[in-house]
Amino acid sequence: MDEPVPPVACPAVPPRVAPPLPCPPVPPLPVAPPLAPLVPPCPLALPEPPRAPLPRSIEGAPSDAPLQAGAKVTSGTPASSQESVERGVSIRLRSVTLEGVPPVTKIGRPTDPAAPPFPVLSTRPMSELSSFSRPALTELGQKLEARYAAFKARGLSLDMTRGKPSAEQLDLANDLWQMPQGAFLAKDGTDGRNYGGLDGLPEMKEIFAALFQAPAAQVIIGGNSSLQIMHDTVVRAVTHGVPGGSEPWGKLPKARFLCPSPGYDRHFAICEHFGIEMLTVELGDEGPNMDHVEALVAADPTIKGMWCVPKYVNPTGTTYSARVVDRLAAMKTAAPDFRLFWDNAYAIHDLYPETDALENILTACKAAGNENRPLLFASTSKVSFAGSGISAMASSPTNIADVKKHLGFQTIGPDKLNQLRHVAFFKDYAGMVRHMARHAEILRPKFEAVTEIFQSELGGKGIASWTKPRGGYFVSLDTLDGCAKEVVSLANQAGVKLTAAGATFPYGKDPRDRNIRVAPSLPPLDQIRVAMEIVCVCVGLASVRKLLA
């Protein structure tokens, strides 16, 4: 639990105590026998065709229409919302090559219509619930109530909250325990057992330099958590400022951050903790709404930073397009010390061999004359061990020199043995990427189970849309406006824990109350299937209630 912040930060905006984060670590689920889905499935199917349309439209009900064949997604692999992943979408590709690193596949998804990337489970004609008559909706509601009651009676306890690796994934790195005998010297002679090596060992820097596509001299290795480095980076900016700024952010009457949303709740919690005001900007299929972002940062000198998860966004799976990256790099900001907090937490967390390509923000910013703008973060939390991995940051030479100036006050010797263990285990960046392909084998069926069940139970109903991520740790589900809280509450009562509705928005407030983050990594597949069936029943129930209200 976070402690109250001492009153050094942002005097005019009194620091607040961060609210309890919505989902504390939970103990592993009790081992249970495999759970059989209830029959019959697809409760949303009506026995008869819809009759008179309701006299209202469903606000925010997304269309299930696929993109037109040949429609162009201009770069990267987009958010993969359910609407945008249908076959026939052509993707412009960018390739990323690294000196000394065997090329990691950076190609796009197949455009061959005969080879859809995902199986389509349901081909039945579907009817939008908004066109159902009241009696038809009432009948459907009764069926859903009955099915919901049956699930409730099973007394389940399933957890789909935080994106933690499963034990099976963690097992992949168990050889990290096997530190080679006597291998405690780094290649520059640093003794891993002793103090020193403040900014990281050279061999560890090389691995992260490849991941960040940055010179090794511009990389600092941290402790076990990238969130901690991000937190500390914000703290330093609040107390001491950043290069190019005239004052520490905490001395200003107000400091603001842009928060593309839905986004990562713990980023938002850091801002809230230090009294930094958050402004929500919409996250679309290519990244944040850049027209909005550019207008805001150009006009408001109190906007000092922006949270970005540029690849496989938590929770939507969006990868920022080259166009968005270029605009972020080049945009005019009223604050001379504006920073992009570029949290590339899912840089190599691809679910498929064809990965999303991400433009290099360091070179884009440098080319635009804004070299000090980006601060890059990453870690091996979901590569080796969550909580016992290695974190790192990269930035311009000026920013890195500034961080190093502060580091010596914080520690006289980080854990270098863990760095050596990681280097011995992965060997190099290519080894780390190969390792992630093994994670993908475990994760892919779980993600596909979620989206298949959403498609078969909710597809074509006009009551929900969801992402089909190609990497990362989450699936993002949007309900009808005003239904997310109810869905989460219904699911909880039926034994399925979901991340609190609203958690993916600043201050925990989803203005449309529609976004739900689903984390399929931890539970076993059979539990995921049952949990998702229950979630679909809850979405149906909440939607019918809303339409009948």
Residues of the shown chain interacting with ligand PMP in the complex, contacts defined by CB under 6 A? 163, 225-227, 264, 309, 314, 343, 345, 379, 381, 386, 391
Task: Tell me which DSSP letter residue 471 carries.
Answer: B
Q: Compute how many other C-beta atoms are within 10 angstroms of the C-beta atom of residue 343.
A: 28
Q: Residue 146: phi, psi to the nearest 5?
A: -65, -40
CB 198, min distance to ligand PMP, A: 19
The answer for residues whose C-beta is within 8 angstroms of residue 409's C-beta and 6 or more apart is none
Angle value at C-alpha 202, between 198 and 203, nearest 5 degrees: 130
State the Cα–Cα distance between residues 113 and 69, nearest whole angstrom.
9
Q: Residue 12: phi, psi to the nearest 5?
A: -75, -20
State the Cα–Cα distance between residues 375 and 393, nearest whole angstrom.
7
State the Cα–Cα distance between residues 278 and 288, nearest whole angstrom.
15
Of 176 and 547, nearer to ligand PMP (C-beta) is: 176
CB 390, min distance to ligand PMP, A: 9
Of 162 and 236, nearer to ligand PMP (C-beta) is: 162
Supply 134's token pair: 């009241």
CB 7, min distance to ligand PMP, A: 26
Of 378 and 420, nearer to ligand PMP (C-beta) is: 378
State the Cα–Cα distance between residues 217 and 404, nearest whole angstrom.
12
Of 274 and 385, nearer to ligand PMP (C-beta) is: 385
Of 226 and 319, nearer to ligand PMP (C-beta) is: 226
State the Cα–Cα distance between residues 315 and 309, nearest whole angstrom.
10
The answer for residues whose C-beta is within 8 angstroms of residue 79's C-beta and 6 or more apart is 283, 284, 285, 286, 313, 316, 317, 318, 319, 467
Instruction: Compute, in degrees rounded to 10, the torsion defined by CA atoms 324, 326, 330, 335.
Output: 40
Of 117 and 223, nearer to ligand PMP (C-beta) is: 223
Of 436 and 483, nearer to ligand PMP (C-beta) is: 436
CB 312, min distance to ligand PMP, A: 9
Of 128 and 415, nearer to ligand PMP (C-beta) is: 415
CB 263, min distance to ligand PMP, A: 8
Considering only CA atoms, which of 377, 376, 350 is closest in space to residue 433?
350
**48: three-class secondary structure by DSSP:** coil
Of 163 and 502, nearer to ligand PMP (C-beta) is: 163
Instruction: Compute, in degrees rounded to 10, the torsion defined by CA atoms 61, 64, 69, 75.
Output: 50
CB 175, min distance to ligand PMP, A: 21
How far does CA 22 lie from the centroid of its chain? 16
CB 266, min distance to ligand PMP, A: 7
Q: Residue 92: phi, psi to the nearest 5?
A: -80, 135
CB 475, min distance to ligand PMP, A: 13
Of 109 and 267, nearer to ligand PMP (C-beta) is: 267
Contact call for residues 507 and 268 (beta carbons, < 8 A): yes
HSE of 216 in the Cβ direction (CA atoms, 13 Å)?
12
Q: Residue 118 to residues 32, 82, 115, 285, 464: CA-CA distances in angstroms?
A: 29, 11, 9, 19, 19
CB 533, min distance to ligand PMP, A: 26
Of 309 and 544, nearer to ligand PMP (C-beta) is: 309
Host H or E run for residue 362: helix 361-367
CB 532, min distance to ligand PMP, A: 20
CB 340, min distance to ligand PMP, A: 14
